[in-house]
Structure 1
């Protein structure tokens, strides 16, 4: 069964509006008056972007700004907020390719045609691809790593990263420590270390370096 995919025929206006939203105060409701007065964007193309903001989940059906809208205004979370909205907008494409945001234009075009049943050269198909590409350029899709809590625990005056909720457990066996006396006691202990869910090798290097310096010894 063919599915409709969201698109904007005024994607340039939409991207401009998103930029203006970052600096404008949060209104009680996102209306045409807000867009034309506070965002200084007049005309039908600007007003037509409001329904798309609702599809993105930035504006509720009654015009109220959502938590996603407020998250988007945070400079450190803007790209994350758009990335979440992108996955919501193109959920049908993600069911066909879970890495659609990394796919080539030709691959995405094929998915759009397959999903919608439209012609590859139609104005709707082209507008859908243009909208998708414009949004993925201002998105961050590494949401899991960005949302992870970067907690630290002090050890001997320095900090060792504490694992985020989603992690990979690793176990280290510390060899027995012998006392210098004739009747020594052999002690051994195990460290269970939860590694962060990340592909950044530098994160692991930092963890193991701290572990070696402060717990295992040189």
Structure 2
């Protein structure tokens, strides 16, 4: 069975590299030269950090630092960023147990063996477990959950406010239409032929009293 879970052969170096990343500037491309020259990890085994970081989406496939990488360097977002990176990199484990990070080391080891089909004493399995637990030291899964809940609440409030504004606008438009509504009418009046002014006065008086005052 193909193993898609990321790991470093020298898993103890993972913590050291991550600490160095927090202090170093962001490179245009995170490659072996940057890892060896700028961060001080030139060894071949240490270069396995790069595929680990790509699997966890800290680096793009071309080695470009992602937003997760940039957030990880920020102390305010470091824990949230690493928690998200581990969920992405070890997605196969999280499919089986969404609280994989809360498992004890023996239970996590069993989860890895069940997922990979490898024996519990296999060197790759040990490296996977050690890499995860070393990186987990930087992660804050509780903050991740809290931020997701806050995000959902904000979206819900925004949608509710939008609906209220839309309803209010419709009500105002309808009200305005009622206010602007009017009736125009034309009266064609045929007057009788007469020389008596009193007749005309009576007709116009009636018009004024019954129609024009409306």
Q: What range is the shorter-chain TM-score in? A: 0.5 to 0.7
**Per-residue deviation, 1:88:** 0.8
Cα separation, 1, equivalents of 2:40 and 2:2: 38
RMSD across aligned positions (CA): 2.3
**Per-residue deviation, 1:101:** 0.6
1:165 aligned counterpart, secondary structure: helix
The change in CA–CA distance for 1:9 and 1:64 in structure 2 (over 3 A counts) is same
2:141 aligned counterpart, secondary structure: coil
Pair 1:165-2:183 in alignment? no
**Per-residue deviation, 1:166:** 7.0
Correspondence for 1:144:
145
Note if contact 2:14-2:131 (Cα within 8 Å) is conserved in structure 1.
no
- What are structure 2's unaligned runs of at least 5 residues? 158-214
Structure showing greater radius of gyration is 2
Correspondence for 2:8:
8
**Per-residue deviation, 1:24:** 0.9
**Per-residue deviation, 1:72:** 0.6
- What are structure 1's unaligned runs of at least 5 residues? 151-162, 169-218
**Per-residue deviation, 1:111:** 1.2
Note if contact 1:58-1:69 (Cα within 8 Å) is conserved in structure 2.
yes
Per-residue Cα deviation, 1:87-137 (whole angstroms, up to 9, x for no partner): 111111111111111011221121111111101111111111111211222
**Per-residue deviation, 1:4:** 3.6
2:154 aligned counterpart, secondary structure: coil
Correspondence for 1:119:
119
Cα separation, 2, equivalents of 1:12 and 1:126: 12
The change in CA–CA distance for 1:2 and 1:37 in structure 2 (over 3 A counts) is closer
Correspondence for 1:73:
73
Per-residue Cα deviation, 1:60-96 (whole angstroms, up to 9, x for no partner): 1111111111111101111111100111111111111
Cα separation, 2, equivalents of 1:14 and 1:81: 16
Aligned length: 156
Correspondence for 1:209:
none
Cα separation, 2, equivalents of 1:43 and 1:137: 23
Cα separation, 1, equivalents of 2:102 and 2:156: 24
Q: Which has the higher contact order (CA 8 A, sep 6+)?
A: 2
**Per-residue deviation, 1:144:** 3.0
**Per-residue deviation, 1:146:** 3.9
**Per-residue deviation, 1:27:** 0.9
TM-score, length of structure 1 as denominator length:
0.65
